[in-house]
């Protein structure tokens, strides 16, 4: 299928073309799905280091004396007590508790915050933040087009990055951020990622993207990686994907992420009433991990059925696991459904599955926990 001529290009588009990437339309952007073998790219991140272009993500800044309180009102997390240089995973929810997007919020200074949104939802997040921060002494500034985002992920990521910066990487803990120079380029350097491995995300001026990418990619062992590897990596790590495990019809509690909802914070927030009620009542479904006993992978949208063939859930994400060597999936099961005797309807054939705890993979381990 030809690419959508209206699709946006990231600042690294020409680099991907030169590398022979297979490009696809994703969230309104033309993005690399893979460069050669998605399995090889996946394994490079698990064993060495992979380099990703994530410049389609949204970067929305809130500044001003009331920015922290505004975020507390707009999002489900308790953001204002965060220390400068820290990051937090949180969500933007609708009044009924449905998830409009899952986000990472970085506190860059006393009165400066960066909200990183999924590409498909960046406009929604920006518009909701503008609306929800009315009455607060805070300004919302969407700088997505000004930024490029490059991720270096894998067990070798720190050693590689140390060649290009004098920053104390040993002291930069998980979910922390600092302003730094990498290869002589000004960046916001965050120890965050979406692969289940150690790694870093580097926010740079869009005009510096190609130079930053080329410097990192020139290191022996660094493998360019596309969206396919990113998806299989996050699936093994049990990380939700918006549009799959998270939607406007899904609440954080259904997704097993009720811990991010801070009902005890002093500021009233959008969706609090609905989420407080659900915190007291079991959700109608729950997110679980599935491992297929056969070789056929459950895929998004496939029905989970009981031993009698009665539908009792739906697969949200599924694929063969390069690390575990067997098909895995995440799925929602109806409340009250047991975890034995289940199968997935794979094109009319009931394929037996086992329910397992998430995540399927933990760092420095190649077996399920």
* DSSP letter (8 states) at residue 86: B
Q: Is 266 within 8 Å of 71 (Cβ atoms)?
A: no
Domain assignment of residue 305, yes or no: yes
pLDDT at 269: 98
Overall number of domains in the chain = 2
Q: Summarize the confidence of residues 279-287 as an average pLDDT.
A: 89
Nearest Cα to 275, choosing from 239, 251, 249, 241? 251
pLDDT at 154: 98
**Is the same domain home to 151 and 51?**
yes
Q: Is 290 within 8 Å of 330 (Cβ atoms)?
A: yes
Domain assignment of residue 159, yes or no: yes
Task: Give the CA distances from residue 191 to residues 61, 182, 274, in Å, rounded to whole numbers and listed in that order.
Answer: 19, 14, 33
- Asked if residue 369 has pLDDT above 50, the reply is no
Task: Give the CA distances from residue 58 to residues 72, 86, 120, 205, 315, in Å, rounded to whole numbers and listed in that order.
Answer: 20, 19, 9, 13, 28
**Is the same domain home to 168 and 230?**
yes
User: Which domain, by its residues, includes 178?
Assistant: 8-56+146-236
- What average pLDDT is seen over the chain? 96
**CATH code of the domain containing 164:** 3.30.1360.120
Lowest mean pLDDT among 112-116, 210-214, 334-338, 365-369: 365-369
> Sorting pLDDT into bands at 50, 70 and 90, what band is 273?
very high
Domain assignment of residue 94, yes or no: no
Q: Is 20 within 8 Å of 14 (Cβ atoms)?
A: no
- As separate numbers, helices (DSSP H) first and strands (DSSP E) second, the chain gives 8, 20
Q: Is 329 within 8 Å of 287 (Cβ atoms)?
A: no
- H-run or E-run covering 31: strand 29-34
**CATH code of the domain containing 342:** 2.40.30.110
**Is the same domain home to 150 and 52?**
yes
Last residue of a domain, one of 214, 236, 258: 236
**Is the same domain home to 290 and 171?**
no
Pairing state between β 87-93 and 326-334: unpaired
**Is the same domain home to 200 and 339?**
no
- H-run or E-run covering 228: helix 227-236
């Amino acid at each position: 299928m030809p690419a959508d001529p209206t699709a946006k290009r990231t600042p690294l588009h020409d680099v991907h073309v030169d590398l022979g990437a297979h490009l696809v339309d994703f969230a309104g952007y033309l993005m690399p799905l893979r460069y050669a073998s998605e399995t090889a790219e996946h394994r490079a991140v698990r064993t060495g280091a992979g380099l990703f272009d994530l410049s389609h993500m949204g970067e929305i800044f809130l500044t001003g004396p009331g920015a922290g309180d505004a975020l507390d009102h707009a999002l489900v997390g308790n953001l204002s007590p965060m220390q400068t240089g820290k990051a937090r995973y949180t969500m933007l929810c609708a009044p009924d508790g449905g998830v409009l997007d899952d986000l990472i919020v970085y506190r860059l200074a006393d009165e400066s915050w960066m909200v990183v949104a999924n590409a498909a939802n960046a406009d929604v997040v920006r518009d909701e933040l503008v609306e929800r921060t009315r009455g607060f002494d805070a300004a919302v500034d969407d700088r997505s087009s000004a930024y490029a985002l490059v991720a270096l992920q894998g067990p070798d990521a720190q050693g590689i990055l140390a060649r290009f910066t004098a920053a104390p990487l040993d002291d930069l803990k998980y979910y922390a951020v600092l302003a730094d120079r990498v290869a002589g380029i000004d960046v916001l350097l965050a120890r965050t990622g979406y692969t289940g491995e150690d790694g870093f995300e580097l926010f740079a001026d869009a005009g510096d993207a190609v130079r930053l990418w080329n410097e990192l990619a020139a290191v022996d062992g660094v493998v360019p990686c596309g969206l396919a590897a990113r998806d299989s990596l996050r699936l093994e790590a049990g990380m939700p994907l918006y549009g799959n495990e998270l939607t406007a019809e899904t609440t954080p509690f259904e997704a097993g992420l009720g811990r991010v909802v801070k009902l005890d914070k002093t500021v009233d927030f959008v969706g609090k009433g609905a989420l407080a009620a659900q915190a007291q009542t079991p959700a109608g479904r729950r997110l679980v991990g599935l491992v297929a006993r056969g070789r056929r992978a459950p895929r998004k949208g496939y029905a989970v059925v009981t031993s009698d063939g009665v539908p009792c859930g739906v697969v949200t994400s599924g694929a063969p696991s390069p690390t575990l060597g067997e098909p895995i999936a995440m799925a929602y099961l109806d409340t009250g459904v047991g975890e034995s005797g289940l199968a997935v309807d794979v094109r009319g054939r009931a394929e037996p599955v086992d329910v397992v705890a998430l995540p399927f993979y933990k760092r420095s381990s190649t077996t399920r926990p």
